[in-house]
Chain A
Amino acid sequence: MAKNTTQALETNKISFWDKMKRDRWLYFLVLPGLIWFIVFKYVPMWGTLIAFQNYSPFLGFWGSEWVGFDHFERLFQNPDFFRVLRNTLILAFYETIFVFPAPIILALMLNEIRMTGYKRTIQTLVYMPNFLSWVIIASLTFVFFTTNGGVVNMIIEYFTGSTVNFLGDPNWFRTMIIGQQIWKDAGFGTIIFLAALTSVSKEQYEAAIVDGAGRFRRMWHVTLPAIRHVIIILLILRMGNFLDQGFQQIYLMTNALNRQVAEVFDVYIYFTGITQGAFSHSTAVGLFKGVVGIVLILGTRYIAKRLNQETLF
């Protein structure tokens, strides 16, 4: 891509300003988006500076005392830090290996269905949970899994004679979180992959059939490579949010019994920052999270490039 453009520039000898002039109306159309980006995404960034202050709302930004890296030092020295970091990383890792591939697998399965009506119905049904809020999903989980008359535990009790404390046992916490995410988002995530799959030409399948490839072979050698670039791009985007666990879900599923494994950065920021008015400290934690996010994006991009795949930028 980059090579092509430089070549084009050299051969056509059109300067930057000439190009701007020629496409001015196109650039004009970009303007509102650009302004939106600057005003709402870049300008507020200077507020991040309060991470280096002892910010007090009454004294305001200009009146608050500057403290340098104090908040970062405090964060890294806090015995909670490594626990929170560990919880966050483990959960993020599980999300990447379990939640991320779920829609791909689902899309491949849907793609194999040949009856259009049946396929459509299934598709609509698996989209549904995406429109439920986390509050509702958390309540549903409670109703189904509680040890006091939850359906799941009643079935387990019928067969094994004992109940499993899915909601309180820290060992079950991550399984529940991952399960909820797959249930909620996998169906909706298939949209992009199914769209990519429509671009695979029939001829390739026909050729594969002629070559004697079975269903699984066709999926492996034709379908998957065709959507490979979409997968890579989504993976890179996903990496940028690697440390975001989604505050609502975790917050709703946390209780006194599983907090040891449940406390991740998003919840930690809420407890230390918002509930205690430690705005500077929570901004510092947020900034730390942002830095990790950038490192992961660049890292994934680098690896993808080395593997000779396309990248986003």
Chain B
Amino acid sequence: MKRYKKKVLLPVAGMVVVAGLAACGGNNDESANASNNGTNSNGDLSEERMSVRIMAPSFAPDPVGNDSPALQAIEDYTNMDIELQFVANANYEDRFNVTLASGDLPEIIVAYKDASFISAAEDGAFWDVTDYLDDYENLSGANEVVLNNASINGRQYGIYRSRPLGRNAATINTQWLENLGLEMPTTIEEFHEVLRAFTYDDPNQSGQDDTYGMVVSEWEGPWDQMQVWFGTPNEWGENENGELEPDFMSDEYRDALAFFREMYEEGLVNEDFAIMDSGEWFDPFVSQQAGMVVDVADQANRLQNQITDDYSDDEIIVDVFGGVEGPNGLQIKPTTGYHGVLAISTTSVETEEELRRVLQFLNDLSDEEPQNLSYNGVEGVHHEVNEDGTVDITSQSEGGDLFDREVRDLNQFQVAIPEEKFKLPPQSALQQRADEVMEENMEYVVPNPAEPLVSNTYRERGSQLDNIIDDARIQYIVGQIDESGLDEAVERWLNSGGTEYMQEINEAYQEAQAAQ
């Protein structure tokens, strides 16, 4: 063992030194270029434009073409020739696999951390960029928690596309609260009381029993969020021996489920939630039959918009809260903080020099000007800037598809690291409130220690394993099974590969901790 270690250590040490030197050397050149680029949008003219192909999901029916003026402005700013390969979001996963199989990968490709991407990364399809990020002004400001989440066993195989970490929150009908003389709930007891009052105390003063507390659909997200309020770990938590255990093995999980079951028995949530299509999820809230929805903070604005189209600030009847205090104080389940990564192909980007060029490009994209270009388009063509620094996206508000054709999906290859710098349209009081809540949540979020860890068993049987536990939870809430049924489900989970999964996660966890 010892001899083996020595043999390996020497070349590794050598490599580290070389890589370090290379990084330093590169760093000087690149930062010089970067400052050139930053101050002078013409860039370094002596350097020829490099062409990059970018594959990304699109949401517009007719995605941005390569002749878009906004794209051309981005090309000028970053000194790159960009060729966009948009794929409709619904087919993205399929196309990603097909592209992998074809062997002809674009230089930059949006990838989600699923089994295909993980195995491709392990097979060497993408650059491991972990050690490069610190050399770039914007990219070095990446959030540690998100980096960890986006990594595969601690290594970065792409630059994450950032999303707010504290995005989870509940939306509540404040008109009902006022009618009932209740305050915003802050503890689980108050939360329960509010739901009970929403169901039984006629919150809409119609004189009829036509309301209930909270609407849930077949999507299990809200339960995941709410159980963390009760102190359940976020998917994985350490037990007293310092080993990782899945959330459902904790006592808090059982407490949370008992509470949910009581909620269901009392009729505080819709009876048919387990079979309700998630597309219809918000309808009862919008039609003011249900008074609460547990989803994300920005949902509040969309719901209010559905209640009163194009609302003004005094028409707002909803409010947002991140969560309520449980036995361990306020705990909120964070999102992963990113949505896919921009992975760089090793087959199309062959040399380290080219890699640095691509990284520089992604770094520069996060400057304020290109961020504005990709979110708002070109000033005077797609948007106007108001006096207070907000923008009015004229190409969208005037109708027509100019914005869709020339701007909309350009933000799909925007990483927004370290933060979003683009100008926003004027925000309603509700949107500002939602932003505040997201900010506040950051203090209370519980990270998932196993997020970056990879298990082969989970890769093979993950959805089966997840289904066992998720189904049992729903069955318990609606009263189809009891405590012993939950125990059986855990038993079945362990026998179906859960034991191996836990083992693999713990091994990876120990390795990751030893590496730090």
Contacts and interface: CB of A to CB of B under 8 A. Distances in A.
Interface in B116-151: 116, 119-120, 123, 125
A87 to B, nearest CB: 14
B277 A142 contact: yes
Interface residues of B, number: 38
Given A58-B125, A142-B275, A277-B459, 15 more contacts: A57-B97, A58-B103, A58-B123, A60-B101, A74-B460, A79-B492, A79-B495, A142-B277, A148-B272, A256-B471, A257-B478, A271-B463, A276-B460, A277-B97, A277-B116
Contacts of B272: 146-148, 167-168
A57 B492 contact: no
A255 interface: yes
B100 A58 contact: yes
Q: Is the interface of B mostly helix, strand, loop or mixed?
A: helix
B397 interface: no
Nearest to A64: B123
Contacts, number: 90
A45 interface: no
Interface string A57-74: 111100000000000001
Contacts of B470: 256
B116 A168 contact: no
A167 B119 contact: no
Contacts of B435: none
B487 interface: no
A80 interface: yes
A80 B275 CA distance: 23
The 3 closest A-B pairs by CB, nearest first: A277-B115, A256-B474, A277-B116
A259 B475 CA distance: 11
A184 interface: no
Nearest to A255: B275
Contacts of A272: 460-461, 463-464
Nearest to B212: A148
A6 interface: no
B260 to A, nearest CB: 13
A5 interface: no
Given A79-B496, A146-B275, A257 B464 contact: no
Nearest to B495: A79
A255 B270 CA distance: 16
B460 A281 contact: yes
B206 interface: no
A259 B119 contact: no
A78 B478 CA distance: 28
Contacts of A147: 271-272
Nearest to B471: A256
Given A272-B463, A275-B463, A276-B460, A256 B114 contact: no
A278 interface: yes
